[in-house]
A and B are shown apart, each in its own frame.
Chain A
Amino acid sequence: MRTGLSVVRVVAALASVAAMAVWTPAAAADKVLPIGVLGPLSGGAAAYGLDTSRAAEMKADEINAAGGLKIGGDVYKIKLIVYDHKASAADAATAANKLVSQDKVKYIIGNTVGATCNAVQTVTEPQKVLFSFMCWGTKNLGPDKPYSFRSLLSQWEVAEPFYRWVKEKHPSIKRIAAISPNDTSGIDTNTAVVKYAKALGFEVVADEYYERGTKDFYPTLTKILALKPDLLDVAAAPAGEAGLILKQARELGFKGAKGWTAGVNPVPMISVAGKEAAEGVWTPANIDVTSEFVSPAVRKFGEAFVARYKEVPGAIAIANYAAFDVITKAMVEAGSLDTDKVLAALTGRPHQTIWGPVVIGGKDTYGIDRQFLYPVVIAEIRDGKLVDLAQVAPIGLKK
C-alpha cells in the first residue's frame, strides 16, 4: 500500500513537472483580438480591396510572429476577419453589421470606395468602433464621426499640390476635363479637382461622371473631347475603368496630357490601357516602392509584398499597413482596447510610420483632425513603369 502511494506521488510529481514544462505564462494569457477588414475584393475596384486586405495580413502576421500585442497585462494575437462588399454600399452595411454584431470587432482597419464607408459608418460610429479607411468621400470625416480615420491622402490633400505642379511645370495646359464614377468618391474627387483647378486659373471644360461597371466610354469621351481639353483627368476611376477610358480616348484621337488624381494602382491600369495609352499619365496618389522619394521602410515593404503576393503594392497597401501599425501601437500605449482610450493615444501627436513621420490633421477641411498627412509624390508613367518626379506637401502638412 505504502509502495502504491509512493508510486502515485512520484507519477503526480512527474506529471506536474511535465505540465509546467509546456505551460508558459503567454500561452495561458494569449487572447484573440479580432480586427475587421473590408473592401471590394471582386469587381472593377478589386485592386483596391486586395491591396487593403493583403497589407492588413502582412502587418497582422508580423505582429503575431513577434509574439502578439501586449496590452495591459494581456497578450493578444490578431485575428483578421475580411469581408468583400463588392463596392456596394448595401453589402458594406451588411458586412459591417456582421463584423460588429456577430464577430464582435471594435476595430475595422481598411476599407475603400466612398459610398461603402458612408454605409459602414452608420454601424461603427454609434457603436464606438474605431474605423480606419482609405475612402475618398469628403463626408467620411467630420466632428460627427470621431471614431473614423482616413489613412490615405484624399483628393482634398492631393488635388491642389498636383494642379499647382501642373501649372508650374506645364504652363501651356489651360483646359481641364475630369471624369469619375458617379458615386460619393467620384463626385467628391471631381469637386476637389474642379475647385482647385479653377482656383489656380485653369478652365474646367468638363466635369463628367459614369456609372461604375461601364466599359464603353466612347459616348462620354466623344462629348468631352469635342470640348478640346488640354488635360484629361481620369480622377477617381479605378484601375480597370481608368485603363479603358485612356485606351478609348487614344482611339478617338486624344493626344493631350493625361492625369489620374485618385489613381492608386497603376499596374492593372497599364495592363488594360496598353503602354501607349498609359504613356505620360501623371499621378499624385501613386507610389513607386523602389523610387528615391520613398523611405527605406516602404522599399522593404514593397519587396516583402512582391515576394508574398507576386504583385506590386499600390499606395493603398502602404496606407493600410501604416494605419495598422499606428493603431495597434496606440492600443499598446493606451494599455487598453477601449476605443476612447486608443483615440486619445492616436490624436494630438505625430507618429512614425513607413511613410516617415505622419501627422493626423485635416481640421481645416473636415472640422476634425482625423486625416493622415504625409508628402505627396507626383509620378509619371513611362514605358509601362511609374517614375517619381517630385515630392510636394499638401496644404495641411505645410501648416
Chain B
Amino acid sequence: MSLSLLVQALLNGFGLAMAYVLVALGLTLIFSILEIINFAHGEFYMVGAFVAYLAFGVWGLPYVVALLAAIICVAAAGVVAERLVFRHLRGKTLNAFIVSLGLLWVMQAAAQLVFGVQDKSVPSAFSGIVRLSGVVISVERLAVTLAAATLIVALYAFLEHTRTGRAMRATAQDADAAALLGVNIEAVSALGFGVGCGLAGASGALLAPIFSVSPSMGALPVLKAFIIIIIGGMGSLPGAVLGGLLLGALEGVGTLFFSSAAVNLLGFLMVIAVLLLRPRGLLGGT
C-alpha cells in the first residue's frame, strides 16, 4: 500500500469528521443542560439541510447567507421545541426518549409532505480539486472542515468566555445551585436547546451540497454523533473532537482493509470497549 493511499484514506475520514462533531456537540450540550437525550436531533440536522437547499439551491441566495439562515431557523425551531415539548421533561429520561421519538416521526413526515421523498440535489458551494502527490483534496470538503472547526471554536469561546456560556456550564454542572446563584434556568435551557439544534442545523447546511438532501437523512449523522460522544465523553467538547477524529480515522483507513459492514462493526465494538473500560469516555468528566 502506498503512502499516498494511506494519506488519502486519513483525509477521507477526517474530511467530514468535524461536521459530524457539530451534531455531536449539539446533542451533548442538550443532554448536559436538560438531562435528556434528543432522538430527534438528526431531524434538526435535516431541517438545516433543507433550509440550505431552499435558500441556496432554489432561491439562489449566497451560500453564506443560506448557512446563517439554516443556523438561525433551526436554532429558533429548537427553542420552540424546548418551550412546547421538552421543558416539562427535564430529567425524565424515559419520557423524553419517547417524546423525542414521536417528534422524529412528526418532523420526518412533515418534511415528506412538504418536499416529497425523492433525494434533492444542492449545487456545490465551492468547486475544485487540489491534487498533491497523488492525494485528492476536495475544496468543498476542506471548506466544510474549516467552517465546522470555526463553529466549534466559536462554541468553545462562547461557553468559556461569555456570561451566558458560563451560566450554561453552571446549569449543566448543577441546575439547583445555578438557580440559587441567580441563573434563569428556563432561559438557559431554551437557549441551550436552541444552540444545540443550531449546531445540528449548521452541519446539515454544510453537508447539503456534498450529499443529497432527503427527509430521512438525519438517521446516520445522529448515530455517528452518539458514537462520537460515547467515545469522547458526554459533555466534553475536546472529547467530542477527539471522538470524531478517531471515528473518522477508523472509517477512512478501516475501509481500505475491511468491508463497510466490518468497519461499522468495528465502530460499535469501539463503543462497547469504551463503555466497559472507561464509561465516562476518553475525555469525559467523572
Contact = CB atoms under 8 A, between A and B. Distances in A.
Interface of A: 41-44, 46-47, 49-50, 86, 182, 208-211, 213-216, 218-220, 222-223, 226, 239-240, 243-244, 251-253, 268, 271-272, 274
Contacts of B13: 219
Nearest to A210: B260
Q: Which 4 A-B pairs have the closest CB atoms?
A: A240-B119, A219-B255, A46-B117, A215-B211
A47 B120 CA distance: 12
Interface of B: 5, 8-9, 12-13, 15-16, 108, 112, 117-121, 129, 131, 136, 138, 207, 210-212, 214-217, 219-220, 251-252, 254-256, 259-261, 263-264
Contacts of A251: 129, 136, 138
B138 A214 contact: no
Contact of A240 (B12, B131, B212, B254): B212
Contacts of A239: 119
A182 B260 contact: yes
A244 B5 contact: no
B267 to A, nearest CB: 11
Contacts of B215: 42
A253 B129 contact: yes
A44 B119 contact: yes
Contacts of A223: 255-256
A241 B75 CA distance: 29
Contacts of A47: 118
Given A214-B220, A252-B136, A268-B119, A220 B255 contact: yes
A179 to B, nearest CB: 10
A222 B119 contact: no
Contact of A272 (B8, B119, B136, B255): B119
B221 to A, nearest CB: 9
Contacts of B129: 251, 253
B136 A46 contact: no
Contacts of A244: 211-212
A115 to B, nearest CB: 14
Nearest to A86: B216
Contacts of B210: 215-216
A291 B220 CA distance: 39
A330 B219 CA distance: 43
Given A182-B259, A253-B136, A219 B119 contact: no
Given A219-B251, A272-B119, A213 B219 contact: yes
Contact of B117 (A50, A214, A243): A50
Indicate the member of B12, B16, B112, B215 with the most A CB atoms within 10 Å.
B12
Contacts of B120: 271
A220 B216 CA distance: 22
A222 B256 contact: yes
A263 to B, nearest CB: 14
A42 B116 CA distance: 9
A116 B18 CA distance: 35
Contacts of B254: 219
A47 B5 CA distance: 35
Contacts of B138: 251
Contacts of A210: 260
A209 B118 contact: no
A214 B108 CA distance: 18
B117 A41 contact: yes
